Amino acid sequence: MATLTSLAPVPRRVASPARRLRPTLWRLAAVTLIWATSLFVLALWVSGAGIQSLLAADGDTLTTLGRLTGLVSANLLLYQVLLMARVPVFERGFGRDGITRLHRVVGFWSFWLLLAHLVLITAGYAVTSRTNVLVQAWQFVWDYPGMLLATAGTGLLILVVVTSIRRARRRLRYESWHLLHLYGYLGVGLAIPHMLWTGADFTASAGATFYWWTLWAVTAACVLWFRVAIPLIRSARHGLRVVAVAPDGQDGVSVRIAGRDVRRLGARAGQFFIWRFLDGPGWTRGHPFSLAADPAGNELVISARRVGDGTDRLAELRPGTRVMVEGPYGHMTGERRSGSRLLMLGAGAGVAPLVALLESEPYAPGEAILVTRDRSAPHGLRRAEIDRLARSRGLVHYTLHGRRAASGTGWVPATHAQWDGAQLLQRIAGDLSLYDVYLCGPIPWMQGIREDLRRAGVGASRIHSEAFGV
């Protein structure tokens, strides 16, 4: 085991300009697409006399605000679905952690704007017709085409939003939460008919009609193609099956999967797949597991901590079990690297993708540092592989195990509570300007390290991470 000593600087390797530019171009394409469609929605509202109605200071003001919130909510609602449809432009532009954050933000904004749309439209119509607001709401539901379906869809969306609040989310098993979350698709589908039948902004012009029909059609096609068709085609083509299952640490398990021409899946170290093991009831529920070994060969390896039903089932898999996959996904790969050295910090199951990166990336002895955090050494995953990398490639490995410190930097254990987080990172790595830093672990843990890295002068472009929580 290494001691906390500084390493002598080594010359920096310069990354290929094309390699460094590629993620930026994907992100630019994704952002441009979102902004272009959002501005088009605003143009639809303006062309429908939205500004004139806004200045009327009567029922039309409430109604036009209701129209605007409804348009923006509908646009965001469909983007909410697109963001989770595994569309390449978003996956490569934002990465899984960026998409996860956007999915949550866009989801809540679309929901609150939907509620504002309902309240403002109802109030606007009630003021204009001099009708009681409750009577107007009742008339909307029962007398307007598609509103019963939209009401049911709104109820389903409320269910999804309530169960997505972090406090409620923590009380649910992942499998239960995931099943409830799928009702969001049904909620969106039930809301669409009333837009076509009663939404003037959706049918007022040929341009508006074309835009909304195209967006809905593209969204549905993306979900069916990227979430259903491609996984089925790839899984059948490669014939993936479980080869072996073995313990990994005190409460972990590793699974080896092989098939035909596995390398043609195009997976890179640091990425993950959504895995479905066809071992009986419940196989339809997918789980995201990162690759735990370099996928350059004809096998894929995953390693996970046993923390629930989904991960417990991994230990019970039998060789020969068929496997379906979605992916590969994620941007925490060597493609993001621009420095000459690697500093990898992993906690719990987050160590697995870092080991895969260390197996695949080039570095000289002493140029790569791995810091692992767990409850104790026996709980650590991929220990045999880490020891092999230390012997064969000169990996420097530090452990920061034990319970959390009662105060101070949240990611530092009690054994190092006297250390400032930024100073500890500098003590471990020396000149941090030479490093690309890869983080993988619980989100609060990564946030604490990210803050200390920035205090130590590491730029955001040198910090690479992936998060799976919503």
Domain locations along the chain: 17-234, 240-329, 334-465
Task: Give me the CATH code for the 334-465 domain, please.
Answer: 3.40.50.80
DSSP 372: E
Tell the residue number behind the tokens 């989310």, with chain if given.
169
Residue 27 and residue 229: Cα distance in Å, rounded?
Answer: 25
User: What residue type is 278 in one-letter code?
Assistant: L
How much is the pLDDT for 470? 46
How much is the pLDDT for 7? 33
β-partners of residue 437 are 343, 463
Angle between helix axes 59-83 and 17-47 (nearest 10 degrees) is: 150
Residue 115 and residue 132: Cα distance in Å, rounded?
Answer: 19
Q: How many CB atoms lie within 10 A of CB 18?
A: 8
How much is the pLDDT for 5? 33
What tokens appear for 4 in the block?
């906390």
β-partners of residue 277 are 323
Residue 19 and residue 13: Cα distance in Å, rounded?
Answer: 13
Q: pLDDT tens string for the chain (470 positions)?
A: 443 333 333 333 444 555 556 667 877 888 888 888 888 878 877 777 677 777 777 778 888 888 888 888 888 888 888 887 888 888 878 877 778 778 778 888 888 888 898 889 888 888 888 888 888 888 877 777 777 777 787 777 777 777 766 665 666 565 566 666 666 767 777 777 776 666 666 666 777 778 888 888 888 899 899 888 998 999 899 999 999 999 998 889 999 999 999 989 989 999 999 899 998 887 878 888 999 999 987 899 999 887 766 678 888 899 999 999 998 988 888 888 888 899 999 998 899 999 999 999 999 999 999 999 988 888 888 999 999 999 999 999 999 888 877 666 778 888 887 888 889 999 999 889 899 999 998 888 898 899 999 999 998 889 998 775 54
Helical H segments across 55-182, by residue range? 59-83, 88-129, 133-143, 147-164, 166-171, 174-181
- In sequence order, which residues have a C-beta less than 8 Å from that of residue 356 and are 6 or more positions away? 269, 270, 290, 291, 292, 293, 294, 295, 301
Question: The pTM is what?
Answer: 0.76
β-partners of residue 278 are none
Residue 317 and residue 23: Cα distance in Å, rounded?
Answer: 37
β-partners of residue 371 are 345, 398
What tokens appear for 280 in the block?
């009986």
What tokens appear for 61 in the block?
């003001």
CATH 2.40.30.10 is the classification of domain 240-329: yes
Residue 368 and residue 349: Cα distance in Å, rounded?
Answer: 20
Which of 385, 404, 397, 417 lies closest to 444, judged by CA? 404
Residue 58 and residue 43: Cα distance in Å, rounded?
Answer: 23
Residue 300 and residue 265: Cα distance in Å, rounded?
Answer: 10
- Backbone φ, ψ for residue 161 (5° rounding): -65, -45
Distance, first Cα to last Cα, the chain: 36
- In sequence order, which residues have a C-beta less than 8 Å from that of residue 444 and are 6 or more positions away? 410
Q: Indicate the SS3 state at residue 48.
A: coil
Q: Indicate the SS3 state at residue 413.
A: strand
The DSSP result for 295-345, as a single string, is TTSSEEEEEEE--SHHHHHHHT--TT-BEEEEEEE-S-SGGG--SSEEEEE
Instruction: Please state whether 11 falls in left (phi above 0), alpha (psi between -120 and 50) or beta.
Output: beta
Half-sphere exposure of 74 (CA within 13 A, CB side): 30
